[in-house]
Structure formats: C-alpha cells, structure tokens
Structure 1
C-alpha cells in the first residue's frame, strides 16, 4: 500500500533515479550526470551490478585459470615435461577477488568523476516516481525523480524440488568463491552457466556430472552444436545425465548430497559432494513496491515494457534483465542507449536488434543471427556453408582444431542470415561476421577479402568460399 508522509518529512528531488547499478543503469547515471542532471543511483550490494562482481567477468577469470590448468595437463603435447603439479583454489579465488576489487574501484572513480550520487541501500516505491531508501545503517531517505529507471536484474532460480533448498546448493556466486576443489560436483542444468563451470571444475580436478532434463545440451541450438558439446564433455571426462528429472534432493552441498531422479523412465540416485544449481534466472521484481508505482509485470514476473523500455507507469523505465531483455550485459548496454536517446527526445527502439552471444566453454560457442532450427521454423530459405575448424590453419599452430564454423546465406540477396562457430576464439570470429551483417554486405565480401595469414579470421575465406551456388 502507498506510504503516507509525516509532517515536515523532506523529499529530495532528482532529475533521474536509478534503482540498481548494473550495466544499463550505471551508464545512464554517468552519461546524464556529466550533462549536468541530478542523478541518484540506489544499489543494494554490488557496485556496478552482477557482471563485474559475481557473473560475467569473475567467471571468465576462473575459466581462464582452468584453461591454464588444461595446458599443464597437455604440456607433453607441446614438448614440455610435466611433473606433479597442484592447483591451489584459494589462489585461484584470490586472483578473481583482486580483479573484482580493481573493477569496483574503477566504478567508484567513474561515479566520482561523473557527479552521479551513489547510495548504498535498498529502495522501494512508496508512490509514483517516489522511493524510500533504507540505508545500510538502518536510516531512511525519501527521494523522487522526474524519471525513474528500474534495473534490479535477476537472480539464480532455485527450482521447487523437495529438499533442494535444504541441501544448501551452490549457485554461480558461491561456486566462484570456493577455496577447495569439489570431489564430485553435480551440476543441475546444461546451459551457459552449467557448461562453463562444469568444464572449469573438471579441469581443476573435480569429478563432474551434469544433470539435464532435456535430451541434449544447449537444446535450443542446432543438433550439430549439441553433439559437439556432448563430445567435448565426453573427451574431458564430464559425465552426462540427460533426459533426467529430479524428484528430490538430500544431504548438504559441500559434505554429501544425493539426487533422486527419473532418467528415461527409470528411478535412480546420483551422489556427489557438491551441488551447483544452474537452471535459469528469476527477475528481482518482488518486494520493491511496483504495485504502488503502478508498474505492471508480465506473467513471468518481468517488468512489462514497450519497445522504448517504458513501463506502464508514466516516467518509469526498465533496463536489462528485469525488463525481460535477453540476459546479456551487452544487451543491457544497448538498453542504456535506447533509454538515453528517448530521454533526449530521440526515438530509439529495441525492435529488430541483433542479439549475439558467446558461451565461454573451451572452445567457445558463439552465434549471431539465425541458426538452422530458427530458419526452418520461420520458413526462410537459406544456403548452408560449413567447415571444420581444422580447415583454419591457425588452429593447427595452436593445437586447437576442435569444432566447426557454419553460416546461413540468403538464397536471393547473398546476405548472411546467421553465423555459428564452435571453436577457438569463437567470440572474436563471430564479431567480424556480425560487422559484415550490420553493414548488409553479401557473403562474397568476406569470401573475397584479403585477411592476414595465419589468423583465425582467415578461416572465413574458406567458409564463405564453400557457400553452394543458387
């Protein structure tokens, strides 16, 4: 219900209030504050949001340590004798913590330099464009903005499985803070987080089992992508329990844990020492007074927005994950550009934008545009070009020949409809193709380009030279 103000209670006015300091929110704050606007950011815990603190960058830091460990394990392949080596997880963790501390300091410097005010506390709406902020010391402030942006993000979903919450499972946050190597890590979910961390901890020395309810990993991707991921897991010794539904969890993660499951119609028990839940995300939209602000939610609990990221309440916007935008930091950054342009009187929308992604397994899986499943579902005719990564000679110098590249080309215009790569440097290779797609270039522009030898990008010449004729 709407809070009433006491007599004499002051309300501090701002041009813009941002609830949450994640990617989209912080860039809005820094940009508009530098323009002379009175900007307030309310952040509950993580300065800069999840990406620099507990998600994107910390996980890639840990994953890179695991990559270094894999080089030690393969050292004889490179002519380097390997003796007994050990992995000190507390040092791995501390390297990550040091990076995070530096990133937080960088963010604080940007707040100071921009003039935006950062308030550490929990905010909730108590009226239209009006929030009460409870600071960490227990005191409160009431603030009102000409405009308010909600950027509260998401958190790891904990499925409603009997005994799961009581087993105190890890999420990605706790997994990145481990100072010892799990003896046997059970990973619930075969998506981005599950696959990345499963491979990392396997390389650190854990026995790892991925438990996935679908029949294949990364089930929304094409079947050749899933098959390549299956083969990667097999070769690295990661156990897979596919078509597996969890009925109950027992024990306590970090000590001993059991999963009662049904796999392909048969009941069984899977046992491990640690349990990691990586089964999706839930929006942080509860308990912040959205009903008082007249901000409506979707049936999945995300904030309802239009193509300009305006909510159902005048003067209130939403940015990033909580707005139902694709859950990528680079998309949240583009949300910032959408909102800042609209606040400045320039029309900009989210409709039709490209959504590239990269999953940082080793090798990387990256895609932009359509895959084959999507093209077929939409009835879009295409020509398929596909080559093994080994055709790209740079991979042979690196001993990193696993994987493939493929592209979908329009049958009439010769424009690139989509590109997928499962291979070393996949994210960087994809970026080059995406730029060509943004420019509307035909595939022949890459086929006929003069690219440096030997580089990974040179493989694009071979790929697009294999496009079949109409």
Structure 2
C-alpha cells in the first residue's frame, strides 16, 4: 500500500540536520516559531556522523597507540595492538551518543522532525519523499526556509568512489581492518589528518599532491612543521603530481600520476583515499523551482543575514560556501533563525577560527602578517616557541609555536597562528581577543595558570611588545 500525499504547514522549514540546520531549528523554535526540520539520513549531518567527530575519535586513538609505542625516552616500553573492530565500535558509540543527543534536543525544544528528502515545489513549498518503498511523500508549505544541506566529498576523473578500493573520507573512517598500504590523493587538511591516523596505526602511507607542499593556503612555516612531523612518522610525499588514473593489479591498486610537464609515475597501494575537497549538496533540492540562485560551483550566495536572493529563503553551512566549518555553520544557523523571528541579527566574520587536527595541531584566526600588510596595517608580530614551554616539554610535544599579529600603532590583536599541542583550544583566546577588540596589553596582563600551554599565548603577546620573559625578545 502506498501512503497518499499529505500537506502540512510551518513557520520555518529547515532542510538538513547538520550543525547549521539543527542549530537553526532549535533557535527558531526557542524564539516561538513553529519549526519543522527535514533530514534524509542522520541527525548531526556530516560533522557528527562521517566527519569531525569520528575523525577526531580515530585521531585520539591513533595518537594514544603511537605515543604508547614510542615512549622509550620516558622509560615506557610498550607494543600496543590495535583492534580495528573494537576501535570502530567505540567510535560508533561516541557518534550515536551525539546524534541521539541532537534528536533529543530538537524534540525537547519543540521542533517537528520529518524524515525524508526535500525538493522545492515553488518558493513557499517543498515536497518531502519518505524513504522506503510505499512510504509516499508529503508537501510542506512554509513562510521561511533555511537550507542546510551541507557538502559531499569531491570526486576526480577516473576515481569514482566504491568505498572498497577507492575511498572517500567517509569510507576511510569506516574501515574495519587496517590496510597494509594507503595512497592518499590530496594533502589538504582532510588528507593530512587521515594520513596521520593510518600512519600512526601502522599503515604504509604515501601522499600525492598537485601543489608543492601540504596544507595549501597555510603559511610556509606552518606547513613545514606538519610535513616534517609526518615524514618523521613514515609518511612519504610526492608533490607537483596529480592522480590521473588507476588499475587493479591483483589485490592492489596501481595509481598513475602526472606532472604539469607530462611526466608519469606509478604507485601501488591496497587502498586509495581521494581527499581533494568537498562540494556543496545543492543539486538535489531543485532550487530553481524556488528561484534560488547558485554560483558556478553550486554554492548558494547569501548576505550578512544568511538570506539568499529570495528574501524568505536562507542558506547556512557548507552549502553557503567557504569556509566549510561546523562552527561557522552553527553561527549562521543562529543568525538565520533570529532573522526569521524578526530579530536584528547579522553575521560578523572578523574572527572565525580554523583548526587542523594533524600532529602537531594547527589553528589560525584572523590575519597573517602578509594579510595585515595587504590590508594597510603596520603589523607587529610576536612569537613564542613551544620548546620554551614547560608544559609542552612535559607532554613531550614541543614542536611548533604561537604567533600573534597585531597593529603596531594601536596594538589591537589582528590574528594568530598556532602550531603545537592543543592548538585548537589555545586559539579560542585569540579569537576572543579579536572579537572584543583587545590589545596586546590585555593578553599580557591576564594571569595565566602555570604550567600550562596557555602561557605560550601570553608570552607571544609579550614578545610582540618586547617584554617576553621566557624567550628572547625580537
């Protein structure tokens, strides 16, 4: 029996329950709007299910296993055995706890949850197809809609994902046994994070990258620190090479790469991970039916209130463009919901931190020195090496640095780059400094607990002012 179409209405319809979507739905409901959230797959989106959370779980496990097996200088001798099925089970428990929590939070806040795939049927209506044979569909009319459909791994010619030999990040995170060898195409943040995981777990990892270094877009000394550590743990790099084709040779994939000059090379690996970026999921929505415009890459342009070219339709998160960061999506979701409720809310992107969970970690916020110069500032730079941090030394993680960029005239903090342990946590202090308009003196005069990594933040600001105690001043 096929269930017939039904029709319902709502004040705010949110399509996609990733970080931007579920945040928007909860906030809209908190503001008194009848809110409906449509999700076709799993609550929490890519981030909670096949992205941020599971990758960080595997990173934590790999770090633990590698550290335990390489702690002879501390007098610790161990040879950890990694049970991938057990590791995947633990990772799954973490994911289930968080995704289940999102669903409960939505229900507790009065959000109406609908499972299915949404497609626009005009500027004020979507049709939701429910999964499963005979489940039918329903139409939902809305006053305002927030699109939060996220992104998917980008494919390259001749390397279609089968999640058996040619893996996306999703497939790599779900492996139940360790491959003996892994070829990674792409040395961006996803490629580098997962390369590090598998190398630390004992896989022979080779990385090919079209550009001339890892982490494109990051400063040279940041990329250099990550590349050096990766090489130390056994990762092999081949730069200025693009993957052009592959063929099966027994149980092995033989990958052919090509340089700009036409020179080719071949690499054999049990598995191939393609990590060349992500593309927006905007092609499933029939946005044209609603009059919503996309750019040439499929992203949905928005203004500072997360509105598309159709004023009552909003877009948040990855589908709205770079940077593709869960915390950016959450803030956009909040703003979109508040605008829907008539609140005077708007986005201010002056301080969006970014982090790469490699070894060592990388975190940045605001401007680099070069960007500050290009913006017309006379940058004042302070730097503190992690090797001078007592806490970093006791953690046996002393590679990297904390660098702050400020305006020489006013000493307002403009940006920061951190390489080292817990960089993703340390960057929050600089993010707050930029957001509140703090000066270097504010950071320096704040008493930091000793011994902590946070002292490196204070010392970098002091170094910029020529007042550092635990490193030589410039």
SS in 2 for 1:466: helix
Contact 1:393 1:459 in 2 (8 A): no
Q: Distance in 1 between matches of 2:458 and 2:43?
A: 43
Q: Which residue of 1 aligns with 2:231?
A: 234
After the TM superposition, which of the residue ranges 450-459 and 432-441 deviates more from structure 2? Answer: 432-441
Change (3 A) 1:145 1:49: same
Contact 1:242 1:263 in 2 (8 A): no
| Count of residue pairs brought into register by the alignment | 460
Change (3 A) 1:179 1:292: same
Report how far residue 9 of structure 1 moved: 6.8
Q: Distance in 2 between matches of 1:165 and 1:29?
A: 32
| The one of 45, 50, 54 aligned to 2:50 | 54
Change (3 A) 1:350 1:32: closer
Report how far residue 247 of structure 1 moved: 2.0
| The one of 93, 107, 113 aligned to 1:98 | 93
Matched, 1:20 2:16: yes
| The one of 146, 161, 181 aligned to 1:149 | 146
| The one of 109, 117, 122 aligned to 2:117 | 122
Change (3 A) 1:17 1:163: closer
TM norm structure 1: 0.93
After the TM superposition, which of the residue ranges 311-320 and 235-244 deviates more from structure 2? Answer: 311-320
Matched, 1:294 2:258: no
Contact 2:352 2:366 in 1 (8 A): yes
| The one of 68, 80, 93 aligned to 1:72 | 68
Q: Distance in 1 between matches of 2:28 and 2:15?
A: 15
Report how far residue 344 of structure 1 moved: 2.5
Q: Which residue of 2 aligns with 1:3?
A: none
Q: Distance in 2 between matches of 1:454 and 1:203?
A: 28
Alpha-carbon displacement from aligned partner over 1:4-55 (angstroms, at most 9, x marks no partner):
xxxx975311111111111121122223334443221111101121111111
Q: Distance in 2 between matches of 1:36 and 1:309?
A: 20
Alpha-carbon displacement from aligned partner over 1:364-402 (angstroms, at most 9, x marks no partner):
100111113423444432122222111111111111111
SS in 2 for 1:395: helix
Q: Which residue of 1 aligns with 2:197?
A: 200
Contact 2:332 2:347 in 1 (8 A): yes
Change (3 A) 1:34 1:448: closer
TM norm structure 2: 0.92
Contact 1:164 1:248 in 2 (8 A): no
Structure 1, unaligned runs of 5 or more: 1-7
Change (3 A) 1:412 1:47: same
Matches within 5 A, 1:309-324: 309-324=306-321
Contact 1:164 1:250 in 2 (8 A): no
Q: Which residue of 1 aligns with 2:470?
A: none
Matched, 1:434 2:428: no
Alpha-carbon displacement from aligned partner over 1:95-134 (angstroms, at most 9, x marks no partner):
1001111112212211321221111111101112201111
Q: Which residue of 2 aligns with 1:111?
A: 106
Q: Distance in 2 between matches of 1:118 and 1:251?
A: 44
Report how far residue 206 of structure 1 moved: 0.2
SS in 2 for 1:11: strand
Q: Distance in 2 between matches of 1:106 and 1:381?
A: 47
Q: Which residue of 2 aligns with 1:268?
A: 265
